[in-house]
Amino acid sequence: MDLTQLANLGEFIGGIAVLATLAYLALQVRQNTSTLQSAAIQTVISDYRSRHIASLMSDADLMSIFVRGLQGLDRLEPAERPRFFFVLLDVVLQAQTVMELHHRGTLSLADYEVWIEGIAGYLRAPGARECWEDFKWGVDPEIAEALSSRLTQAPDGPSILHMQCIQVAGEAALGSNR
């Protein structure tokens, strides 16, 4: 084997090594993307749990206000309405986080759709629907459009009030305020 043949063999082996390295890097990027997506959805769920669910579960008065507010603003005392408004606004602002994660590619379209539909489920409740016009101007226009579109396309779609546990909480809230 002369020097030219050795050089060609070296080039060939080098090319294979480069291809193997690129394949390995592609695999690592794919695994990293998957990890980021898992972390993103976990962060959204954890944030929702700690900011929304935990605050309602630890404060019976706030839970009562929220459930009665969902049923209709007329079920709330004037002093209770701001508390309902801001808890509901927090739920809607969660949609902005979800949208941002989706746009960055760290939250799948399926997860994004589930969250947006879930938040639309809150907004289909009579009291939330009354508030929506008051605060949709304060959220990202794209989220406002996505939620408004859901409400327009399926105004009678599933509402948070259709959930059995919310119905029971609502009856308890009404019973304690009669």
Whether pLDDT at 167 is above 80: no
Residue 91 in any domain: the answer is yes
User: Residues 128-165: pLDDT tens digits?
Assistant: 999 998 888 888 899 899 999 999 998 888 888 776 55
Residue 11 in any domain: the answer is no
Residue 1 in any domain: the answer is no
| Residue 40: per-residue pLDDT | 66
Residue 115 in any domain: the answer is yes
CA dihedral of 76, 144, 148, 117, whole degrees rounded to 10: -80
User: How many CB atoms sit inside 10 A of residue 110's CB?
Assistant: 8
Tokens of 90: 């927090």
DSSP 49: I
Q: Which domain holds residue 154?
A: 39-176
Q: Is 151 exposed, middle or buried (0-12, 13-18, 19+ CB in 10 A)?
A: middle
User: Residues 34-75: pLDDT tens digits?
Assistant: 676 666 666 666 676 666 677 777 888 988 999 999 999 999
Q: How high is the mean pLDDT of the chain?
A: 81
Number of domains observed in the structure of the chain: 1
| Residue 148: per-residue pLDDT | 93
DSSP 1: -
Token match 């760290």: residue? 106
Residue 4 in any domain: the answer is no
What is the rounded CA–CA span in Å between residue 44 and residue 114? 12
Residue 114 in any domain: the answer is yes
| Residue 55: per-residue pLDDT | 78
Residue 154 in any domain: the answer is yes
Residue 50 in any domain: the answer is yes
Whether pLDDT at 119 is above 80: yes
pTM: 0.68
**DSSP state string for 154-174:** -TTS--GGGSHHHHHHHHHHH
